[in-house]
Amino acid sequence: MRIIAASNRDLEQCIRTGKLRADLFYRLNVFPIQVPPLRKRASDIPLLAFFFMQKFARKVGKEISEISRETMARLASYPWPGNIRELQNVIERAVILSPGPMLILEAGAFPRAPGAQQGETTESAQPDQPISLTEIQRCHIQSILEQTSWVIEGERGAARLLDMHPNTLRFRMQKLGISRPPRSR
């Protein structure tokens, strides 16, 4: 039998303070995985938002296939103190309330970022246009390529981070119109 357990607490600190039995910790601590909070993985937000949107749209029987740019900007700029569970709940609520095929999260329905002044928003000035899954893929791949200094293959290459074969990545880049920017001299 295998058990997968997750916690947002420092378990070693819990052992020191007597809130967790050491023997239980050592039984569960076979293969620990540290995952940074969502606020430190902003590039994951669009993919997660699309995943949750599709999941909840199917669940409630709605045809929702796009997320507005304004909504995506709100999602990306929010600090997510409740992590992925909070994102999931926000998307589920938005799916339930969205009247059409585009997911729209109204300004008043979304928590204001801590420290923002009354009336201050993080919305872009762009009109409410849809963001396609293709556009999200393009942005995600380009972001990974920039993180890896446009290295495609190898141990520190983008293909490895994206968990795909280098030739598949090259094909996808060509299909999505992604090319390396010219180097400045």
pLDDT of residue 112: 53
Does 182 have pLDDT greater than 60?
Answer: yes
pLDDT of residue 126: 41
pTM above 0.85, yes or no: no
- Nearest to residue 113, comparing CAs of 80, 73, 67? 80
pLDDT of residue 161: 84
The pLDDT of 76-96, averaged and rounded, is: 88
CATH architecture for residues 38-110+121-131:
Orthogonal Bundle (1.10)
